[in-house]
């Protein structure tokens, strides 16, 4: 395991770059002792359709700063209390999702990606793409910041578990029990089948975890969609999900940009913020009818048989959805 120290913009972050975790992540490397006791804290079902790799920790009140938590880990303090503090820090939205990577039976790394749990990508997912689903399940009540952070934590935990990373489970009896209970009663989160009498594994409802609409796109557009570049294909994928789960039933270019920044990181890194947005706006405009032919005052959707997207106003930031009347190309 190669660790390279690097400076941090925050005085409370003792940062390092981990060759296995990527740049801009706080990483701490540890040799494990009492391996049997450590393993008893883990519940894993890697072959489940929803893979689980969760670490269960004993709850305690939050009374440490992030610097104190990381100092404990630096001293080899891999214990339930230190891990509980990490969960508190993540749900306070002070850090992004912490996770552990095993390198051998007695060695692992703690990785804390730069950012925060409820980041721009998570906010875009919950507010732009899934707001209709959330409103239906939550009885039209707006979720609190704590509830949204819990949802983001569980979504990111599931994604990390699928990549073989171990994440810290949420424990009842802590200050996040209230949001967990309300989200569970509304059906936005549920117990995983791997849960047992003493350990509860929470996952978001399957609709909220849906990320792939490509089967529906193939059924609608046939092979025509395969000729699009990565930006075009992923834009259509976000739009088909918005049709299912958002209140608006479609997306504008700014919303798609927010959603695709983390899903197309190389494209975003190469183009930068402004060019990435312009590229998405150009792709969406090219897949929709010419703007000159649109009555922006009308609330109707405008479409053309040879265009994959339908469009409607406002003219300043138009909304797009799939054109269900699209006619596939004839060879």
Note whether 96 and 115 are within 8 A (CB). Answer: yes
**Averaged pLDDT for residues 232-259:** 97
Q: Which of 6-20, 110-124, 198-212, 280-294 bottoms out in mean pLDDT, i.e. has the lowest?
A: 6-20
Element (H, E) at 319: strand 319-322
Count of Cβ atoms closer than 10 Å to residue 133 Cβ: 21
- Report pLDDT digits (tens) over 101-152: 988 877 778 899 889 999 999 999 999 999 999 999 998 678 999 999 999 9
Strands of 3-47 (E only): list them: 3-5, 16-18, 25-31, 42-45
Count of Cβ atoms closer than 10 Å to residue 134 Cβ: 27
CA distances to 8, 103, 118 from 114, in Å? 10, 22, 12
Element (H, E) at 203: strand 202-204
Q: Which residues, at least 6 apart from 308, have a Cβ–Cβ distance to it below 8 Å?
A: 221, 224, 225, 236, 287, 288, 322, 323, 326
Residue 214 has pLDDT above 80, yes or no: yes
Cis before 314 (ω within 30)? yes
Count of Cβ atoms closer than 10 Å to residue 294 Cβ: 18
From the list 302, 307, 300, 301, the residue with the least C-alpha distance to 326 is: 307
Q: Which of 13-22, 264-273, 291-300 bottoms out in mean pLDDT, i.e. has the lowest?
A: 13-22
**Averaged pLDDT for residues 254-268:** 95
Give the pLDDT of residue 90: 94
Give the pLDDT of residue 301: 95
Q: Where are the alpha helices (DSSP H) in the chain?
A: 35-39, 66-74, 80-91, 120-124, 131-137, 145-162, 177-186, 214-221, 230-245, 253-260, 265-286
User: How would residue 23 be classed by pLDDT, with cut points 50, 70 and 90?
Assistant: very low
Question: Regarding predicted confidence, which is higher, 79 or 237?
Answer: 237
Give the pLDDT of residue 38: 66
Count of Cβ atoms closer than 10 Å to residue 70 Cβ: 25
Which of the four CATH numbers 3.40.50, 1.10.10, 1.10.287, 2.60.40 does domain 120-204 have?
1.10.10
> In angstroms, rounded to a whole number, what is the distance separating the alpha carbons of residues 133 and 5?
43
Give the pLDDT of residue 221: 95
> In angstroms, rounded to a whole number, what is the distance separating the alpha carbons of residues 270 and 258?
16
From the list 138, 125, 141, 140, the residue with the least C-alpha distance to 259 is: 125
**What are the residue boundaries of the structural domains of the chain, listed by start?**
3-113, 120-204, 214-322
- Report pLDDT digits (tens) over 56-81: 876 655 555 555 555 555 544 445 55
Terminus-to-terminus CA distance in the chain, angstroms?
54
User: How would residue 197 be classed by pLDDT, with cut points 50, 70 and 90?
Assistant: confident
**Averaged pLDDT for residues 227-233:** 95
Give the pLDDT of residue 7: 25
**Averaged pLDDT for residues 89-96:** 94
Query: Structure tokens of 33?
Result: 């002792």
Give the pLDDT of residue 104: 80
From the list 292, 321, 288, 291, the residue with the least C-alpha distance to 306 is: 288
Residue 236 has pLDDT above 70, yes or no: yes
Average pLDDT of the residues of the chain: 83
Give the pLDDT of residue 15: 36
């Amino acid at each position: 395991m190669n660790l390279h120290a690097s400076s941090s913009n925050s005085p409370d972050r003792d940062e390092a770059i981990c060759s296995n975790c990527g740049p801009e992540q706080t990483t701490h490397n540890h040799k494990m002792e009492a391996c049997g006791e450590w393993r008893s804290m883990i519940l894993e079902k890697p072959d489940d359709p929803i893979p689980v790799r969760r670490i269960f920790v004993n709850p305690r009140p939050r009374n440490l700063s992030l610097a104190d938590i990381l100092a404990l880990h630096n001293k080899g303090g891999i214990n339930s209390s230190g891990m509980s503090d990490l969960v508190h820090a993540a749900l306070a939205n002070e850090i992004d999702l912490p996770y552990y990577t095993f390198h051998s039976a007695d060695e692992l790394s703690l990785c804390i990606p730069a950012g925060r749990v409820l980041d721009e990508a998570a906010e875009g997912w919950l507010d732009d793409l899934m707001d209709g689903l959330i409103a239906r399940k939550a009885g039209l009540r707006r979720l609190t910041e704590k509830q949204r952070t819990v949802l983001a934590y569980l979504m990111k935990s599931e994604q990390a578990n699928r990549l073989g990373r171990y994440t810290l489970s949420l424990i009842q009896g802590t200050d996040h029990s209230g949001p967990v209970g309300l989200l569970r009663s509304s059906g936005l989160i549920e117990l995983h089948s791997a849960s047992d009498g003493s350990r509860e594994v929470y996952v978001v409802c399957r609709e909220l975890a849906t990320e792939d609409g490509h089967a529906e796109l193939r059924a609608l557009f046939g092979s025509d969609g395969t000729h699009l570049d990565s930006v075009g294909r992923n834009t259509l994928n976000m739009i088909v999900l918005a049709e299912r789960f958002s209140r608006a039933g479609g997306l504008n270019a700014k919303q798609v940009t927010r959603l695709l920044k983390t899903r197309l990181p190389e494209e975003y890194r190469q183009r930068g913020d402004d060019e990435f947005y312009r590229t998405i706006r150009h792709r969406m405009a090219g897949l929709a009818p010419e703007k000159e032919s649109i009555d922006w005052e009308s609330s109707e959707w405008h479409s053309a048989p040879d265009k994959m997207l339908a469009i409607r106003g406002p003219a300043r930031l138009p909304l797009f959805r799939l054109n269900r009347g699209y006619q596939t190309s004839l060879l």
